[in-house]
Structure 1
């Protein structure tokens, strides 16, 4: 199976494209501490009109769906406390928000965070939120299937552009917990 880099003409180390990334993502890459060298995190410039996974896959090929991952922001509530968390699952699955995520957060109720909260608190654009550079107090829940793939195509923090990162690098992000069964069909 091809790797996500095969779908794009211009793939460069993301550390060389910090000017195209939102501040939190650029800062996280500048301060990279993972075992995977930061140069293995790649950036590709993409048309924001096809930023959504279904459109990107339609444009570049169905094989890309198996190697794309979506990051969704979830709000877990218990009493008056709200915990925001990021969930990273393969694009052909969905995060088990009411089961796995709710239990992992120790919440009575979990739901997708309101768009203004997700965007405002992450410093990223809706439809482009990435697990790289999220606030340090956010849990980052990574489906084991994402951690196991050689490379995952994920958001860049903006609708324009994508990041291609080794699954291992995503599993090592600050606050990350790898969870079997986080993504369900």
Structure 2
């Protein structure tokens, strides 16, 4: 098992041994991955799932946290979805870069109910691991280059510890320069 410097006061465990800490789509995706990249999970208080509270409570560095946002846009009556991965210290360029990538007139954060029902994950815990297979995952270059990251696990009661290389290797991942500012 990899040593995770970003775990703070938490004890990481191999994610494949703790299905109880993963949303079902996340568990299935990890089980079907080739497993050449380390993925750990840490159990947390669900009330501390938001990034700032998590980092403060557990001593994990804010600059090692990445957020996954679900974005939606319409084209010719069809709703197009994508996941966007950016460092927690930045903001996704939804109305510029993401809008162009989705090829839509207007892009915005997907409504919470849609994001939850379409992903099978809890709001505040959505992660790019286990998303619908036809969704692109746009990964900011800074996220892709990070040696260690804290991301959602699909539920609010845990977090995944991954590498930028792992996120870059997801089936629909696309590394995007200047996705965030």
Normalised TM-score (structure 1): 0.92
Aligned Cα root-mean-square deviation (Å): 1.3
> Could you tell me how far apart the structure 1 residues matched to 2:109 and 2:100 are?
15
SS for the counterpart of 1:92 is coil
Unaligned runs of 5+ in 2: none
Residue pairs, 1:1-185, within 5 angstroms:
3-5=5-7, 7-33=8-34, 37-38=36-37, 40-61=38-59, 64-184=61-181
User: How big is each residue's C-alpha offset from its partner over 1:1-45, in whole Å with a ceiling of 9 and x where there is no partner?
Assistant: x8312x133211101111221110000010003xx625x100000
> Could you tell me how far apart the structure 1 residues matched to 2:53 and 2:20 are?
25
User: How big is each residue's C-alpha offset from its partner over 1:79-134, in whole Å with a ceiling of 9 and x where there is no partner?
Assistant: 21111110000000111100010001111110000001000000000000000000
Unaligned runs of 5+ in 1: none
SS for the counterpart of 2:61 is helix
Total equivalences in the alignment: 178
SS for the counterpart of 2:47 is helix
CA contact (8 A) 1:8 1:44 kept: no
Normalised TM-score (structure 2): 0.94
> Could you tell me how far apart the structure 2 residues matched to 1:164 and 1:175 are?
20
CA contact (8 A) 2:21 2:41 kept: no
SS for the counterpart of 1:95 is coil
CA contact (8 A) 2:83 2:136 kept: yes
CA contact (8 A) 2:116 2:122 kept: yes
Q: Any runs of at least 4 consecutive aligned residues in structure 1 with deviations exceeding 4 A, and if so which?
A: none
- How far apart are 1:58 and its partner, in Å? 1.9
